[in-house]
């Protein structure tokens, strides 16, 4: 007992004070669309490499594209192959949105959607959440991590509860295949109102790589009214925290961030490490 | 790995398999089917580090169940029934594993030709729990949604007072149709699906997929790529074992110790970030090599690895030194070595029963088997034994990571693969995931397209362990016992 106490007292404070800072240099971010034009009418290499058909070249539009972060699994293929930096890496962790449409990025001005800020609501001071896992469990692990001493979601009055009866929010992870569709609806019905549904991870939003199969694993958004969308596969704990803060209308607590993408083709700008890193050990 | 294919008549399959299993160096890796017209068995020879595929054509969708004589096949036979509609006659407990009542009866997703209506009616697919009767016997249903943040599954306990007499497990809630999807997507993009099988086993699944594909292309990847793959595999093992030991601490009630384990799991995940850009090592290991260079200077990674080892050393010492922790884990959730052997158990579960089986000693995966790895093993088969094996493996893996980072060879990261896989062939990838023996088995057709992609998660061998280990224990011991076996739901459900 004394040993444990002395060990714990010897541990330094691990909690990061700033909420939702950008990802570290070595971490791969989600893609974003910049204001740089495609080459000609668009080379289409991003469309070819995307494993989930998240990128669409708008027909006859001279290089106008849409990128659906709700389908993106963050493989980084698109911004690696993009020759014009039209798609570039974003280190932002403040990527959660309140509507599905906000996740679809585009360089066509007619398709740009303004991102909504959170609004103060009944959950602003405290949110109790029930997590229902329906997928590969990487997102569950990151939800677990968001409660650890480093990210410490509990400091915001957020608590993960064991029963839907105590829950304000339903966090759904995974693509919700047929076997989980009825249990997750039962869980939602068992929750007292007011209640919100949060789709955590690209699988929960769109089904990710599983979309369109016989297991009907197409995400939660068609099954339950979803209020918050957190993209990523798996979303970083800071992204999950951002989604939670958005649900609570407290996203103003996040640090101010520089949303400048990581351009790889301009001298003097930061270089995508995946393509150009110095060989290690030299 | 190259495998020999043999034809074994269905009526001789049982004898041949029983004879094969007489040799203690032999194992059965996978029992499955390709398109519903045959049984396919992958058998492993641990003395010669080789494998064979036995094909047995069957008629009329029936064959004599192998389970009665070879108990470890009971799970496999249930899965074949689920996915192909092939009936193992006289199977003692024929219940669905992957496809449950949510799916239309008669859906056999992996069959080549649909079954005839008359045959379908004979396949009733309701789940029948074992009926345990007697005065004072009561049933406790748990799940599919559990109290914690974990994957879904249903447990049905039949208890007398506080004592569990029988536990039956119903899974399949997160069946996403991965095996079918892997035959539908272009094979050069299949790794994105393969690594989404189980989030905590990303690197191992990606590696098994890559090894299987590469065996169909007949290539050997560059040394630098093989080294980085091995490092990724071991980082995953460190991270997942760390949180599993933390989970044991949590279930004992040592929440603050778990908080520390959780923090250090984060440090291990950040090593994943450093080497691949993804905390869960996503999109890193691909057929042909790896996607990119380490994203952090090697010196800095080495410092982080050494720091992590020092911290985990302190923490695990305190944990194993605590009499409450040891008392809670000792002699509980015991698994007899004979039963572990009979049910073909793998990974930590087997090694905690003294069965020294580690695929890294036998089959090509990254730099193994040339790279020597010590096998962590404890004999007692209880929760403490499994925890000790995990802790030993954490440090073995950290040592391997340190050694490989110091010796990281120069050279290319990947090689160009041909556009076509070998025709009418079999590709196998066997990897020691942190849960144990993981197998990806690919059959190609006469055009070189993937005809059947079969995945055997270590949990297929090990789910039976929980029912055995918890028998005659208290309900209150279940969470701890469950945690110590660390079974995968998504890896099982596919």
User: In the Cβ-directed half-sphere of A227, how many Cα atoms lie within 13 Å?
Assistant: 20
How far is CA B221 from each of CA B49, B199, B298, rounded to the nearest angstrom? 20, 25, 22
- CA of A137 to nearest chain B CA: how many angstroms apart? 5
- CA of A43 to nearest chain B CA: how many angstroms apart? 20
Angstrom distance (rounded) from CA B266 to CA A150: 8
Q: Looking at beta carbons, which residues of chain A come within 8 Å of B175?
A: 177-179, 215
**Do the Cβ atoms of A3 and B322 come within 8 Å?**
yes
From B292, B273, B302, B275, select the one nearest A271 (Cα to Cα): B292
- CA of B241 to nearest chain A CA: how many angstroms apart? 13
Predicted confidence at residue B353, as pLDDT, reads 93
Omega of the bond leading into B464 within 30 degrees of 0 (cis): no
Question: What is this structure's pTM?
Answer: 0.92
Angstrom distance (rounded) from CA A32 to CA A106: 9
Per-residue tokens: B16: 């041949």
ipTM of the complex as predicted: 0.90
- CB burial of B424-453 (b: ≥16 within 10 Å; e: otherwise) equals ebbbbbbbbbbbbbbbbbbbbbeebebbbb
As a whole number, the mean pLDDT across chain B is: 91
Predicted confidence at residue B44, as pLDDT, reads 94
From B242, B199, B207, select the one nearest B394 (Cα to Cα): B242
From B464, B440, B457, select the one nearest B493 (Cα to Cα): B457
- CA of B100 to nearest chain A CA: how many angstroms apart? 7
Reported as a single tens digit per residue, the pLDDT across B297-353 is: 999 999 999 999 999 999 999 999 999 999 999 998 999 999 999 999 999 999 999
Tell me how many residue pairs between chain A and chain B have CB atoms under 8 A apart: 206
From B430, B337, B437, B328, select the one nearest B378 (Cα to Cα): B337
**B479, B61 contact by CB (below 8 A):** no
Angstrom distance (rounded) from CA B242 to CA B285: 22
**Do the Cβ atoms of B294 and A280 come within 8 Å?**
yes
Q: Choose among B193, B293, B295: nearest Cβ to A279.
A: B293
Predicted confidence at residue A266, as pLDDT, reads 54
- To test the contact with chain A by mutation, choose from B174, B304, B321, B434 the residue with the greatest count of A C-beta atoms within 10 A, namely B174
**Which regions in chain A score pLDDT beneath 50?**
267-282
Predicted confidence at residue B2, as pLDDT, reads 79
Q: Choose among B197, B263, B292: nearest Cβ to A274.
A: B292
Reported as a single tens digit per residue, the pLDDT across B261-292 is: 999 999 999 999 999 999 999 999 999 999 99
Predicted confidence at residue B119, as pLDDT, reads 64
Instruction: Assess whether pLDDT exceeds 60 at residue B69.
Output: yes
- CA of B147 to nearest chain A CA: how many angstroms apart? 4
Reported as a single tens digit per residue, the pLDDT across B142-173 is: 989 988 888 999 999 999 999 999 999 999 99
Q: Choose among A7, A132, A277: nearest Cβ to B314.
A: A7
- Least confident range of B117-121, B204-208, B412-416: B117-121
**Do the Cβ atoms of B199 and A132 come within 8 Å?**
no
Predicted confidence at residue A124, as pLDDT, reads 92
According to DSSP, residue B165 is labeled E
Quick one: average pLDDT of B413-439? 93
Cβ partners under 8 Å of residue A262, min gap 6 = A29, A88, A89, A90, A91, A269, A270, A272
- To test the contact with chain B by mutation, choose from A26, A142, A219 the residue with the greatest count of B C-beta atoms within 10 A, namely A26
Per-residue tokens: A46: 């991003």
Predicted confidence at residue B104, as pLDDT, reads 81
Q: What kind and span of H or E run contains B493?
A: helix B490-493
Using left for φ > 0, alpha for ψ between -120 and 50, and beta otherwise, residue B197 falls in: alpha
| B39: number of Cβ within 10 Å | 24
Instruction: Assess whether pLDDT exceeds 90 at residue B194.
Output: yes
From B191, B190, B266, select the one nearest B235 (Cα to Cα): B266
Q: Choose among A132, A208, A280: nearest Cβ to B297.
A: A280
Instruction: Assess whether pLDDT exceeds 50 at residue B199.
Output: yes
| Confidence category of residue B120, pLDDT binned at 50, 70, 90 | low
Instruction: Assess whether pLDDT exceeds 70 at residue B488.
Output: yes
Q: Looking at beta carbons, which residues of chain A come within 8 Å of B304?
A: none
Side by side, the strands of the sheet bearing A104-106 are A55-57, A65-68, A104-106
Using left for φ > 0, alpha for ψ between -120 and 50, and beta otherwise, residue A263 falls in: beta
| A28: number of Cβ within 10 Å | 28
**Do the Cβ atoms of A280 and B293 come within 8 Å?**
yes
Predicted confidence at residue A280, as pLDDT, reads 34
Per-residue tokens: A15: 């909690």
């Amino acid at each position: 007992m004394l040993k444990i106490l002395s060990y714990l007292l010897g541990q330094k404070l691990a909690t990061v004070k700033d909420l939702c800072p950008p990802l570290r240099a070595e971490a791969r971010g989600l893609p974003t669309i910049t204001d740089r034009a495609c080459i000609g009418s668009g080379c289409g290499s991003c469309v070819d490499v995307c494993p989930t058909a998240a990128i669409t070249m708008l027909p006859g539009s001279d290089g106008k594209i849409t990128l659906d972060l709700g389908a993106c699994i963050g493989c980084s293929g698109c911004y690696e192959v993009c020759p014009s930096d039209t798609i570039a890496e974003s280190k932002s962790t403040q990527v959660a949105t309140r509507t599905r449409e906000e996740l679809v990025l585009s360089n066509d001005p007619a398709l740009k959607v303004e991102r909504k800020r959170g609004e103060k609501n009944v959950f602003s001071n405290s949110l109790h959440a029930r997590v229902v896992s329906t997928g590969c469990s990487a997102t569950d692990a990151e939800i677990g991590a968001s409660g650890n001493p480093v990210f410490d979601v509990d400091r915001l009055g957020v608590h993960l509860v064991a029963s839907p009866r105590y829950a304000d929010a339903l966090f759904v992870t995974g693509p919700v295949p047929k076997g989980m569709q009825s249990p997750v609806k039962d869980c939602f019905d068992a929750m007292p109102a007011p209640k919100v549904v949060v789709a955590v991870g690209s699988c929960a939003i769109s089904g990710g790589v599983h979309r369109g199969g016989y297991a009907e694993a197409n995400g939660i958004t068609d099954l339950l009214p979803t209020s918050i969308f957190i993209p990523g596969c798996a979303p970083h704990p800071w992204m999950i925290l951002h989604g939670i803060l958005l649900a609570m209308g407290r996203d103003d607590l996040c640090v101010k961030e520089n949303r400048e993408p990581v351009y790889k083709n301009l001298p003097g700008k930061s270089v995508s490490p995946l393509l150009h890193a110095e060989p290690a050990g030299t | 790995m190259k495998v020999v294919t043999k034809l074994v008549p269905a009526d001789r399959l049982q004898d041949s398999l029983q004879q094969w299993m007489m040799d203690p160096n032999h194992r059965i890796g996978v029992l499955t089917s390709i398109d519903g017209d045959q049984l396919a068995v992958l058998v492993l020879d641990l003395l010669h580090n080789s494998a064979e595929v036995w094909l047995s054509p069957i008629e009329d969708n029936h064959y004599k169940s192998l389970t009665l004589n070879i108990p470890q096949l009971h799970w496999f036979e249930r899965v074949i029934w689920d996915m192909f509609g092939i009936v193992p006659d006289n199977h003692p407990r024929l219940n669905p594993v992957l496809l449950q009542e949510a799916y239309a009866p008669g859906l056999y997703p992996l069959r080549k030709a649909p079954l005839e209506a008359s045959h379908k009616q004979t396949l009733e697919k309701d789940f029948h729990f074992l009926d345990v009767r007697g005065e004072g016997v009561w049933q406790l249903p748990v799940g599919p949604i559990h109290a914690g943040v974990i994957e879904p599954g249903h447990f049905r306990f039949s208890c007398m007072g506080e004592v569990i007499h029988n536990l039956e497990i119903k899974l399949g809630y997160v069946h996403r149709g991965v095996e079918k999807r892997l035959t539908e997507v272009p094979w050069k993009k299949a790794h994105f699906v393969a690594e989404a099988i189980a989030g905590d086993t990303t690197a191992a699944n990606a590696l098994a997929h890559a090894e299987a594909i590469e065996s169909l292309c007949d290539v050997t990847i560059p040394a630098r790529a093989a080294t980085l793959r091995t490092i990724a595999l071991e980082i995953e093992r460190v991270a997942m074992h760390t949180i599993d030991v933390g989970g044991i601490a949590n279930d004992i009630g040592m929440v603050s110790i778990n908080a520390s384990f959780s923090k250090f799991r984060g440090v291990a995940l950040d090593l994943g970030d450093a080497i691949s850009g993804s905390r869960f090592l996503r999109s890193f290991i691909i057929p042909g090599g790896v996607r990119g260079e380490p994203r952090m200077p090697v010196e800095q990674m080495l410092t982080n690895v050494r720091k992590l080892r020092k911290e985990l050393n302190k923490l695990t010492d305190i944990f194993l030194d605590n009499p409450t922790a040891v008392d809670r884990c000792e002699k509980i959730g015991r698994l007899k070595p004979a039963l572990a052997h009979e049910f073909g158990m793998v990974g930590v579960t087997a090694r905690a029963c003294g069965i020294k089986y580690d695929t890294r000693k036998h089959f090509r995966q990254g730099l193994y088997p040339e790279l020597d790895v010590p096998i962590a093993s404890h004999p007692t088969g209880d929760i403490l034994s499994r925890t000790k094996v995990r802790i030993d493996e954490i440090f073995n893996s950290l040592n391997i990571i340190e050694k490989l980072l110091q010796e990281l060879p120069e050279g290319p990261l990947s090689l160009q693969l041909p556009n076509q896989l070998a025709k009418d062939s079999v590709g196998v990838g066997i990897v020691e995931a942190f849960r144990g023996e993981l197998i990806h088995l690919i059959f190609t057709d006469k055009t070189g397209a993937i005809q059947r992609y079969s995945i055997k998660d270590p949990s297929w061998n090990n789910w039976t362990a929980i029912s055995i280990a918890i028998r005659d224990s208290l309900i209150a011991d279940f969470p701890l016992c469950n945690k110590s076996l660390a079974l995968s739901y998504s890896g099982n459900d596919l």
